[in-house]
Amino acid sequence: MSDFPMLAEGTCQQILPAKRAVGDNIPMRLDDYGNLLNSNIMVKKHGLTAEGSQFVTTNPTPGTGIAGAISATYGVTHPWMVLRNNGSTGGPTAYLDYLKFIVTVVPAGSTTFDLAVVRDVIAGGALTTDHMAYATPVNLNPLSTGSSKCTLGYLTGATANTIAALTPAAAVVGRGTIGGLTIAGDQLIADFGAMDPSPWPASTAAEGAAQPGCRATMFPPICCPPGYQLLFYYWGLTNSGTALSYEFEFSHFER
C-alpha cells in the first residue's frame, strides 16, 4: 500500500444533474469547494434548493383569499387539493415538505381543522366535477434548469370537487387534526416527515378571539412517484353556513 494519499476526483456540479440508469459509472459530484454533495454542510433544507430540487406553490395573489366549499365531514370522493406527478416512469419522485393554510374567512361552526391524504394512481382518479385551479410549482433556485414534473390543483369555489371512485391501489397515507379555535389570520400547517415533533397547545377562548397564531400537525414522510397522485381532504366538524376561505403555501422536492 502506498504511503502517499490518493487523490479522489469528481465533477464540480452543484445543480442536480440528469438521473442516470442504475449501473452507470459516473464521477462523484462535488460542490464549488470540492465537498462531496452527500455530505451537506448547509443548514435546514438549503442544500435541496442549491441543487434545484426544491419547489413551492402558492395561491396567485398574496393577501387575497380563495373561497372554498362548506365541508363538515370527510368524503373520499370530494378532495380539496390534488398533487399529480406527471413524470415518466423512472423519473423523479415528489417528496412532501409542508402544506400551510392561512385562514382569511373562518369556517363557521367548525370545532376542528381536519386533514387527510390519500395516495392513488393518476389513471384511476379523474375528477367528474372539477372546481380546481391548477398551478405549476416554482423552482426555488432561479439558476436551475430543472422544472417540476408535478401540478397542484386546489379548490376554488363553493361547489365541492367530485372524483368518480378510487382504485384498489388507493391508500390513506396521512391523517391529522389541528386543535384550537380558528380565526382569520391563523396559519395552520401540515408538516410532512417532521423529525422534531413538539406539542402545539390549543388556544384559549380569549386568545382565539383576537390573536392569530400558528399551529401544526405531523404527517408521515409522504412521497408521490411518477404516475401517482395525492388527494388532500379538509373538513371542519359542524361547519355550516360559511365555508373556509384561505391562502396556501405548499412545498415539496423532487429527486
pLDDT tens for the 255 residues of the chain, in order? 556 666 777 777 777 777 778 788 888 887 777 777 765 555 678 889 988 999 999 999 999 999 999 999 999 999 999 999 999 999 999 999 999 999 999 999 888 899 999 999 998 778 899 999 999 999 999 999 999 999 999 999 999 999 988 999 999 999 999 877 788 999 999 999 987 766 556 555 555 566 788 888 999 999 999 999 999 999 999 999 899 999 999 999 999
Q: What is the pLDDT of residue 25?
A: 83
**Which residues are CB-neighbours of 38 under 8 A, at least 6 positions away?**
none
- Whole-angstrom distance, CA of residue 46 vs CA of residue 40: 9
Q: What does the domain layout of the chain look like in residue ranges?
A: 8-41, 54-254
Strands 28-30 and 10-12: parallel
Q: What is the pLDDT of residue 144?
A: 93
Give one DSSP letter per residue of the chain, joined into a string: --SSPPPP-EEE--S------TT---PEEE-TTS-BTTS--SSTTHHHHHTT-EEEEE-SSTT--EE-----S--TT--SEEEEE-PPTTSPPEEEEEEEEEEEE--TT-S-EEEEEEEEEGGG--EEE--EEEEPPEES-TT-----SEEEEEE-SSSPPEES---TT-EEEEEEEE-S---TT-EEEEEET-SS----PPPPHHHHHH---EEEEEE---EE-TTEEEEEEEE-TT--SS--EEEEEEEEEE-
Q: What is the pLDDT of residue 202?
A: 56
How many Cα atoms are found within 13 Å in the side-chain-facing hemisphere of 87?
Answer: 19
The residue assigned the cell 444533474 is 17
Are the C-beta atoms of residues 76 and 118 closer than 8 Å to each other?
yes
Give one DSSP letter per residue of 114-128, joined into a string: EEEEEEEEGGG--EE
Give pTM, 2 decimals.
0.86
**Which residues are CB-neighbours of 24 under 8 A, at least 6 positions away?**
none
